[in-house]
Every structure is written in structure tokens, then in C-alpha cells.
């Protein structure tokens, strides 16, 4: 038989996050009491007003195709949101609504990358960036933001990584997995390099609403009109409004890029689900009270759980400023408890301590593990007790 699969998918690696979640589920089904700290989604229901808007739209018969790039009323709600929250002005032809921020990013790389074009991806990164870039024929170029530099890259690192082939840099602030946020000044410095070297900026702002310690989210597109012109802002309602399953995301940026993305969507997904689009209109136009309540819940969990994680022997951890993840460096903990790698340590945590965490190797950061605090405080505290007991029982100086 001829080769079944295209070369394109031969090196495709499945999401590590989903793999651990599947393993944890398997153990749970065997009756083992596993605590999952792998979650990449808020543990709250979608707010009631959004559910009602979705039902009302179905009852009114709005269940047919919409324009491929999204309902005009939703684009208007997004334009208003960008003006209100980010002081950014866009026109309808500069907005596309897609099937979650993930698919919007996928479509974006498909329309901006030629074979061999390079995209700079800061480490630690969200698992899908490298795969999406490669699927579009691009080449990921990694730049490491070490823990010592708060998991952020410097302007000099960015400058050094840019070549003739560089098309774009991805900025994800607040970051998954590190929870770190670039300051306005840091963004301005990175933007200066992007402008000088004439590259695009892909700004993934999906965790915009989950920021702590009084920090305010700032979009790199706000720096200047010139920077806005070379930035594609990607965002959505998954994390902000606890709407992961509704699959709505959007991009805002250059009209020609948005048109190409819309044309591509018209031959791939068509529109994103009509009901979900109506729900998102309410998410943006309705009360934002529940968004703030969810943010506060995450922040209070972080306050409780952070010092406990930091106190586990060998752990080196920075206090995150956003998102809902902690990214402790556990290389010393793994070594002192007899594991050759952090991956092995994470596997043992699952099978022996029954706590599921995501090994950082999937984020380009093999000395770390990612712990999600999108779960109840009670479970978080029990998980930390288990990890601590596991480490103390095995620790050898």
C-alpha cells in the first residue's frame, strides 16, 4: 500500500497536556483517587446570562450559517470590547471570529507563512505554537526566557534571533505556562526591535482577564499605531468567561491578513457555531461581574497555594502574575528523590502520589512542572500535601 499519511503530520506530536489528562482519567476509572492539576480551563460554569442569550437565539431561529468571518453584531461587540478594555480602534474588516483562539492562530500561521519562514517562539511556550508553525511550513526558532529572567525574553535575545527569514514573534502575556506578564516598558522594547527588523507580532492575549496583584493587562498593540499595524491580537472568551467548550476566538489586525484568514475559513470551518456566536455577543455586551468574580477566586487560591508549593523541598518557584498556572522548577527535587528526569518525577507523582501535573518538557522547559489551580482549594491543598509527603519520603541528601 502507498504511504498512508502525509509528511506534514509525521512529526506532529500530540498535546502533552491532553496525554496526561487522559492517563489521569484512566486511573480515575480504575477507582484510583487521582487529583488532576493539569486543567487548562476554568472550573466554573459559563455565566447564566450567556446561557440565556444562547437559548434565546436558538428559540428565535438563529441556527443557520453566518458570514464565515463572524456575525456583524459579534464583530461590533468585539470592536467595542477592544475599545473599552484596550483602547484599541478597529474596523469590522480588521476582525475575524473563529473556532477558538487555537484555530484562529492556526489559520493565521497558514496565511502569513511561506515554506521556511521563521517564527520566534519564547520558551516556555504554549504547546500548540510550534506545531501550528510547522504545519504551515514555518520553522520555530526558540528563545529561552529563563526563570532568572522571570520566564521573559529580552529585546537583545529577540534581536539576536532575527534573521532574513523571520516573519513573526509570538508574545503570550499573561503566559501559559509561566503566568508571567510583560510590563508596558518591556513590551515597548520588544516592539521597537520588531519595528526595526520589520517583523510581525502575534499577541496571544487569551489570559487577559486573569491578572493579579492589581496589575492591569496591556496589549503590545497599544504602544503606537505603527506597532498596532504590525500586530495581530488574538483573544477569545474561553478563559475570561469560562467558555472553553463554546469554541469562539478572534483576531484583530491588518485587513489583508484578516481577509485571507476569512477566505481560508470559508473553505475550512465556514462560520464558528452560530449559537456560540450569539452567546459571545452577550459575553462581551452583558455584565462583566462574573468575569471579575472568577478572577478573584483564582487570585485567592493563588495566595493560599503559592507559599505551600514554594515550601516543598528543592522547589524553586516564581509567583505568577496571571493565568492559572504555577511553573516550579523541580530539577533539584527530582534529583534528590532519585529520578533521572523531571518527566520521570512527574510520572511517579501520578502513579505513586496520585497527583497529575504536566511535565514542562512539553513547553520547552524540561526542569519544570506545570500545576493548574483551576480546581477547588480543598483539592489543591490535598494535592500539595500528597506531593510534599511523596518528596519527603524519598528525599536523600
Q: Are 151 and 145 a contacting pair, CB within 8 Å?
A: yes
Rank residues 359 and 384 by Cβ distance to ligand PLP and give the closer one: 359
Rank residues 244 and 341 by Cβ distance to ligand PLP and give the closer one: 244
Q: Can you give the three-state secondary structure of 72-98, one letter per residue?
A: HHHHHHHHHHHHHHHCCCCCHHHEEEE
Among 42, 145, 236, 364, binds ligand PLP (CB under 6 A): 236
113: CB partners within 8 A, 6+ apart: 119, 133, 136, 137, 138, 167
Q: Is the dihedral of CA 170, 174, 180, 184 positive or negative?
A: positive
- Distance of closest approach, residue 238 Cβ to ligand PLP, in angstroms: 3
- Distance of closest approach, residue 230 Cβ to ligand PLP, in angstroms: 20
Rank residues 126 and 284 by Cβ distance to ligand PLP and give the closer one: 126
Residue 31, Ramachandran bin (φ over 0: left; ψ between -120 and 50: alpha; else beta): left
- Distance of closest approach, residue 220 Cβ to ligand PLP, in angstroms: 15
Q: How far apart are CA 368 and CA 363, in angstroms?
A: 9
- Options 78-86, 97-105, 180-188, 385-393: segment touching ligand PLP (CB under 6 A): 97-105
- Distance of closest approach, residue 172 Cβ to ligand PLP, in angstroms: 5
- Options 30-38, 95-103, 192-200, 366-374: segment touching ligand PLP (CB under 6 A): 95-103
Rank residues 135 and 348 by Cβ distance to ligand PLP and give the closer one: 135
* β-bridge mates for residue 362, sequence order: none
β strands within 205-268, DSSP E: 231-236, 249-252
Which residues inside 361-380 make contact with ligand PLP, applying CB under 6 A? none
Q: How far apart are CA 202 and CA 108, in angstroms?
A: 9
Q: How far apart are CA 332 and CA 315, in angstroms?
A: 7
Among 146, 154, 244, 275, binds ligand PLP (CB under 6 A): 244
Which residues inside 22-61 make contact with ligand PLP, applying CB under 6 A? 40
- Distance of closest approach, residue 104 Cβ to ligand PLP, in angstroms: 7
> Is residue 206 close enough to count as binding ligand PLP by CB under 6 A?
yes
Q: How far apart are CA 350 and CA 282, in angstroms?
A: 40
Closest listed residue to residue 92, CA positions, set 75, 70, 67: 75
Binding residues with ligand PLP: total (CB under 6 A): 13
- Options 72-80, 98-106, 219-227, 259-267: segment touching ligand PLP (CB under 6 A): 98-106
Residue 100, Ramachandran bin (φ over 0: left; ψ between -120 and 50: alpha; else beta): left
Site map (CB under 6 A) of ligand PLP, residues 101-130, x = contact: xx-----------------------x----
Among 57, 107, 147, 176, binds ligand PLP (CB under 6 A): 176
Among 38, 249, 360, 364, binds ligand PLP (CB under 6 A): 249
* β-bridge mates for residue 252, sequence order: 95, 233
* β-bridge mates for residue 358, sequence order: 370
Task: Give the interface with ligand PLP as residue ranges (CB under 6 A).
Answer: 40, 100-102, 126, 172, 176, 204, 206, 236, 238, 244, 249
Amino acid at each position: 500500500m502507498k504511504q498512508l499519511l502525509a509528511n506534514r503530520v509525521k512529526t506532529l506530536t500530540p498535546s502533552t497536556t491532553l496525554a496526561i489528562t487522559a492517563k489521569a482519567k484512566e486511573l480515575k476509572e480504575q477507582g484510583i483517587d487521582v487529583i488532576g492539576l493539569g486543567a487548562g480551563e476554568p472550573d466554573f460554569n459559563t455565566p447564566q446570562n450567556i446561557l440565556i442569550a444562547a437559548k434565546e437565539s436558538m428559540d428565535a431561529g438563529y441556527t443557520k450559517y453566518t458570514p464565515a468571518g463572524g456575525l456583524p453584531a459579534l464583530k461590533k461587540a468585539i470592536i467595542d470590547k477592544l475599545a473599552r478594555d484596550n483602547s484599541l480602534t478597529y474596523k469590522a474588516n480588521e476582525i475575524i471570529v473563529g473556532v477558538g483562539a487555537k484555530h484562529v492562530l492556526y489559520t493565521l500561521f497558514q496565511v502569513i507563512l511561506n515554506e521556511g519562514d521563521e517564527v520566534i517562539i519564547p520558551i516556555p511556550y504554549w504547546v500548540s505554537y510550534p506545531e501550528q508553525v510547522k504545519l504551515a511550513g514555518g520553522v520555530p526558532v526558540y528563545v529561552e526566557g529563563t526563570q532568572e529572567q522571570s520566564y521573559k525574553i529580552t529585546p537583545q535575545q529577540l534581536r539576536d534571533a532575527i534573521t532574513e527569514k523571520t516573519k513573526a514573534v509570538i508574545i503570550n502575556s499573561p503566559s501559559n505556562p509561566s503566568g508571567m506578564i510583560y510590563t508596558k516598558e518591556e513590551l515597548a522594547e520588544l516592539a521597537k526591535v520588531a519595528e526595526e527588523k520589520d517583523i510581525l507580532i502575534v499577541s496571544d492575549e487569551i489570559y487577559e482577564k486573569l491578572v493579579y496583584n492589581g496589575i492591569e493587562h496591556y496589549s503590545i498593540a497599544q504602544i503606537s499605531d505603527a506597532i498596532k499595524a504590525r500586530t495581530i491580537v488574538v483573544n477569545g472568551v474561553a478563559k475570561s468567561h469560562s467558555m472553553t467548550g463554546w469554541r469562539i476566538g478572534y483576531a484583530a489586525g491588518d485587513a489583508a491578513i484578516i481577509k485571507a484568514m476569512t477566505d481560508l475559513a470559508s473553505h475550512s470551518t465556514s462560520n464558528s457555531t452560530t449559537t456560540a456566536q450569539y452567546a459571545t455577543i452577550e459575553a462581551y455586551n452583558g455584565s462583566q461581574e462574573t468575569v471579575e468574580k472568577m478572577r478573584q477566586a483564582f487570585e485567592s487560591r493563588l495566595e493560599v497555594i503559592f507559599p505551600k508549593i514554594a515550601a516543598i523541598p528543592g522547589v524553586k518557584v516564581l509567583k505568577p502574575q496571571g493565568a492559572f498556572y504555577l511553573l516550579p522548577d523541580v530539577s533539584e527535587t527530582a534529583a534528590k528523590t532519585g529520578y533521572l528526569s523531571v518527566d520521570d518525577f512527574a510520572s511517579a507523582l501520578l502513579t505513586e502520589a496520585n497527583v497529575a501535573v504536566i511535565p514542562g518538557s512539553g513547553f520547552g522547559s524540561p526542569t519544570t512542572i506545570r500545576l493548574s489551580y483551576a480546581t477547588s482549594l480543598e483539592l489543591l491543598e490535598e494535592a500539595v500535601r500528597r506531593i510534599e509527603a511523596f518528596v519527603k519520603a524519598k528525599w536523600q541528601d
